Chains A and B, each alone.
Chain A
Amino acid sequence: MAATRKPKLAVWKFASCDGCQLSLLDCEDALLAVAGAVEIANFPEASRAVVKGPYDVSLVEGSITTPHDAERIHQVRRASTVLITIGACATAGGIQALRNFKNIKELVPMVYATPAYIETLNKSTPIADHVFVDFELRGCPISKVQLVETLCALLNGRKPNTPTYSVCLECKRRGTVCVMVAHGTSCLGPVTQAGCGALCPAYQRGCYGCFGPKETPNTTALSVAWDRLGARDGDIMRAFRSFNAYAEPFRRESEAHEK
Chain B
Amino acid sequence: MKNRVIKVDYLARVEGEGALHVRIRDREVADVKLRIFEPPRLFEAFLRGRRFSEAPDITARICGICPVAYQMSSCHAMEDAFGVTVGGPLRELRRLLYCGEWIESHALHIYLLHAPDFLGYEDAIQMAKKHGPAVQRGLQLKKIGNDIVTLLGGREIHPINVRVGGFYRVPTKKELRPLVEPLKWARDAAAETVKLTAGLKFPDFEQDYEFVALRHPDEYPFNEGRLVSNKGLDIAIREFENYIAEQHVAHSNALHAIIKARGNYHVGPLARYSLNFDKLTPAAKAAARKAGLGPVCRNPFQSIIVRAVETLYACEEALRIIEAYEMPDQPAVPVEPRTSIGYGCTEAPRGILYHRYRLDPAGQILDARIVPPTAQNQKTIESDLRSFIPKRLSLPQDKLTWQCEQAIRNYDPCISCATHFLKLHIERE
Contacts and interface: CB of A to CB of B under 8 A. Distances in A.
- Chains A and B come from one and the same complex: yes
Interface of A: 13-23, 25-26, 28-29, 31-32, 35, 40, 43-49, 65-66, 68-69, 94-96, 98-99, 102, 107-108, 110-114, 117-118, 120, 140-141, 196, 199-200, 202-205, 208, 210, 238, 242-243
Choose among A18, A22, A96 the residue with the greatest number of B CB atoms under 10 Å from its CB: A18
A111 B42 contact: yes
Contacts of A48: 12-13, 122-123, 402, 405
A28 B248 contact: no
A16 B155 CA distance: 18
Interface of B: 10-17, 37-46, 48, 50-51, 54, 57-58, 61-65, 67, 108, 112-113, 122-126, 128, 135-136, 139-140, 142-143, 146, 154-158, 160-161, 163, 168-169, 247-250, 253, 255, 331, 367, 402, 405, 414, 416, 420
Contact of B139 (A18, A31, A208): A31
Nearest to B142: A28
Contacts of B50: 238
A208 B139 CA distance: 31
A45 B42 contact: no
B64 A22 contact: yes
A110 B113 CA distance: 34
B39 A47 contact: no
20 contacts: A19-B158, A22-B157, A25-B112, A35-B128, A44-B11, A45-B15, A48-B123, A65-B41, A66-B39, A98-B46, A99-B42, A99-B45, A111-B42, A120-B40, A199-B160, A203-B168, A204-B169, A238-B54, A242-B54, A242-B58
A45 B14 contact: yes
A251 B135 CA distance: 44
Contact of B128 (A32, A49, A210): A32
Choose among A26, A49, A117 the residue with the greatest number of B CB atoms under 10 Å from its CB: A26
Choose among A23, A112, A203 the residue with the greatest number of B CB atoms under 10 Å from its CB: A203
Contact of B108 (A25, A99, A113, A199): A25
Contacts of A40: 123, 125
Nearest to B409: A48
A66 B414 CA distance: 20
Given A18-B63, A28-B142, A46-B112, A112 B255 contact: yes
Given A28-B143, A111-B42, A203-B168, A45 B12 contact: yes
B123 A19 contact: no
B45 A47 contact: no
Nearest to A243: B61
Nearest to A65: B39
Contact of A238 (B51, B124, B367): B51
A28 B146 contact: yes
Given A18-B16, A46-B125, A140-B61, A110 B10 contact: no
Contacts of A46: 12-13, 112-113, 123-125
B160 A203 contact: yes
Contacts of B416: 16-18
Given A19-B64, A111-B45, A199-B155, A32 B125 contact: yes
Nearest to A48: B12
B253 A118 contact: yes
Contact of A44 (B13, B46, B64): B13
Given A29-B143, A113-B248, A199-B160, A35 B125 contact: yes
Nearest to B420: A111
Contacts of A210: 158
A22 B312 CA distance: 23
A18 B41 contact: no
A45 B255 contact: no
A196 B158 CA distance: 12
A110 B15 contact: no
A31 B128 CA distance: 11
B45 A110 contact: yes
Contacts of A107: 42, 45-46
Choose among B128, B146, B154, B331 the residue with the greatest number of A CB atoms under 10 Å from its CB: B154
Contacts of A117: 248-250
A65 to B, nearest CB: 5
Contacts of A35: 125, 128
Contacts of A113: 247-248, 255
A208 B14 CA distance: 30
Contacts of A98: 46
Contacts of B168: 200, 203-205
Nearest to B370: A111
A110 B248 CA distance: 13
Choose among A44, A107, A200 the residue with the greatest number of B CB atoms under 10 Å from its CB: A44
B51 A18 contact: no
Contacts of A22: 15, 64-65, 157
A87 to B, nearest CB: 9
Contacts of B128: 32, 35
Contacts of B40: 65, 108, 111-112, 118, 120
Contact of B13 (A45, A69, A203): A45
A45 to B, nearest CB: 6
B75 to A, nearest CB: 15
Choose among B40, B62, B248 the residue with the greatest number of A CB atoms under 10 Å from its CB: B40
A19 to B, nearest CB: 2
A20 B64 CA distance: 7
A165 to B, nearest CB: 20
Nearest to A40: B125
A62 B51 CA distance: 25
A47 B248 contact: no
